[in-house]
Amino acid sequence: MKLPLSHAEFLETYWQQRPLLLPQAVPNFTSPLSPEELAGLALEPAVSSRLIHCDHGVWQKTDGPFSAKDFQSGGTWTLLVENVDQWHEGVRALYPHLSLLPTWRFDDVMVSYAVDGAGVGPHFDRYDVFLLQGLGEREWRIGPICDGNTPQMNTEGLSLIAEFEPTETYILKTGDVLYVPPGLAHWGVARGACMTYSFGFRAPAISDLIARRADSILDRLAQTTLLEDGHSVSVPCRPGEITEAHLANARDAIANASEALDNLRWFGEVVTEQKIDMEDTLTPSALAHPDQAARLVSINCVAWSEYGEYIDVFIAGEAFRIPKTALEALVALCSGGELLVADLSANYPELLDALLLQGALEPCPA
Ligand code: SIN
Ligand code: CO
């Protein structure tokens, strides 16, 4: 993705803060997926899809799978298909455009097709999204940053902003990208039939990080370890009083125990979980086929950290410690590359075992 400013300037000024139009961020872009192929995906039970209709101001949402006749009804509708990068090679080939950010931060590519005048209504999302215009033109109406207190209409499983006042409007043509930060009100309206690719980047919830870190510390902390408070209780206090010194002592004790018992694995576990659909992943029987090439089911289900001679590799929510000799193979896989199962088996058996155990490998298409 080409930025009209430096990477550092984008991250400092716009990322998670304000929208940015990136004209021709993907020059000469041609949609790898046709509207018919997108509709074809939405017929599959394993694919997550929805149709959103709006007729005379009445919104309606239907979940897939659909049948061909669902797309023949008139009216104003949008078809949305999630995780298209996992189902379509051409869409997966767009991964290099995501190199602005760590791979584990990426969520999925959702693709929509809208008839003239259609959109999904004014709403906000809880993730960062790059909206790439794939086909035709779309008008994006942008509003303020919203949160849980913003009045919303909850109808038919849709959460739409009740009073949407656009403050800016952008017209996107094929190859243009609009970056939308979390919480920003937006509403895309198709100008003629159009397709939009949404590259979503979901940040982990702080509450999940705290919960996971606390759980891992508690696993290693003896229940019988008591608070040492000799110094703080020597400070004079009135009957019943908890002083600042008592509180500070407890807070320091928690911080010290957390620091000492933190195995630093919780972050990698949280950011790689819930990113694999176990269907169609390789099973250990693939080892019987030495010419089988394998790749990650998706580039975001694996992350790693380097510690001396070891790597902690996080695969779909679990941590594994493997020798550092596997680093090159790991980086190749995390870049979307493919490796022979025989090569993995002969040279990086610990990595292969962990990937197979977690269902993170899939056979490469012939
Ligand atoms: C769309 O592609 O129609 C909707 C994408 C979004 O608003 O997040
Ligand atoms: Co949105």
Ligand nearest to the CA of 184: 2
Closest to 3 (Cα-Cα) out of 97, 140, 93, 133: 97
**How far does the centroid of ligand 1 lie from the alpha carbon of residue 12, in Å?**
25
Q: Is 281 in the pocket of ligand 1 (CB under 6 A)?
A: no
Task: Provide the pLDDT confidence category of residue 366 given band limits of 50, 70 and 90.
Answer: confident
Sorted by sequence, the CB contacts under 8 Å of residue 187 that are 6+ apart come out as 119, 120, 121, 122, 123, 140, 141, 143, 164, 166
Task: Provide the residue ranges of all domains of the chain, joining segments of one domain with +.
Answer: 7-201, 206-263, 269-363
Indicate which atom in ligand 1 lies nearest the CA of residue 196.
2
**How far does the centroid of ligand 1 lie from the alpha carbon of residue 366, in Å?**
33
pLDDT of residue 235: 87
Q: How far apart are CA 134 and CA 40, in angstroms?
A: 17
Supply the mean pLDDT for the chain: 93
Give pLDDT tens digits for 252-303: 999 999 999 999 999 999 999 976 665 556 666 666 677 889 999 999 999 9
Give pLDDT tens digits for 216-228: 999 999 888 899 9
- Of the options 3.30.429.10, 3.40.366.30, 3.40.50.150, 3.20.20.140, the CATH number for the domain spanning 269-363: 3.40.366.30
pLDDT of residue 222: 85
Max avg pLDDT among 96-100, 172-176, 273-277, 296-300:
172-176
Cis peptide before 65 (omega within 30 of 0): yes
Q: Do 25 and 96 contact (CB within 8 A), yes or no?
A: no
**How far does the centroid of ligand 1 lie from the alpha carbon of residue 71, in Å?**
18
Give pLDDT tens digits for 45-68: 999 999 999 988 899 999 999 999
Tell me: pLDDT of 25 over 90. yes
Q: Is 129 in the pocket of ligand 1 (CB under 6 A)?
A: yes
Q: What torsion do the CA atoms of 221, 226, 231, 232 make, to the nearest 10 degrees?
A: 100
SS3 state of residue 362: strand
Q: Is 188 in the pocket of ligand 1 (CB under 6 A)?
A: yes
Residue with CA at minimum distance from ligand 1 atom 4: 120
SS3 state of residue 175: coil
User: How far is the CA of 123 from the CAs of 48, 162, 186, 311, 351, in angstroms?
Assistant: 20, 9, 6, 41, 42
Query: Taking the model in full, what pTM does it have?
Result: 0.93
Q: Is 125 in the pocket of ligand 1 (CB under 6 A)?
A: yes
Ligand nearest to the CA of 182: 2
Interior/surface letters 25-47, b for 16+ CB within 10 angstroms, e for the rest: bbeebebbbebebbbbbbeeeeb
Indicate which atom in ligand 1 lies nearest the CA of residue 125.
8
CATH 2.60.120.650 fits 7-201, yes or no: yes
Q: Is 83 in the pocket of ligand 1 (CB under 6 A)?
A: no
Percent of the chain's residues with pLDDT above 70 = 96
Q: Is 329 in the pocket of ligand 1 (CB under 6 A)?
A: no
- Pull the structure tokens for residue 256: 């010290």
**How far does the centroid of ligand 2 lie from the alpha carbon of residue 159, in Å?**
11
Q: Which of 109, 110, 159 to mutate to test the pocket of ligand 1 (most atoms within 8 A of CB)?
A: 110
Q: How far apart are CA 322 and CA 59, in angstroms?
A: 51
pLDDT of residue 73: 78
Q: Which of 198, 199, 201 to mutate to test the pocket of ligand 1 (most atoms within 8 A of CB)?
A: 198
Indicate which atom in ligand 1 lies nearest the CA of residue 114.
3
Q: Is 133 in the pocket of ligand 1 (CB under 6 A)?
A: no
Ligand nearest to the CA of 50: 1
SS3 state of residue 2: coil
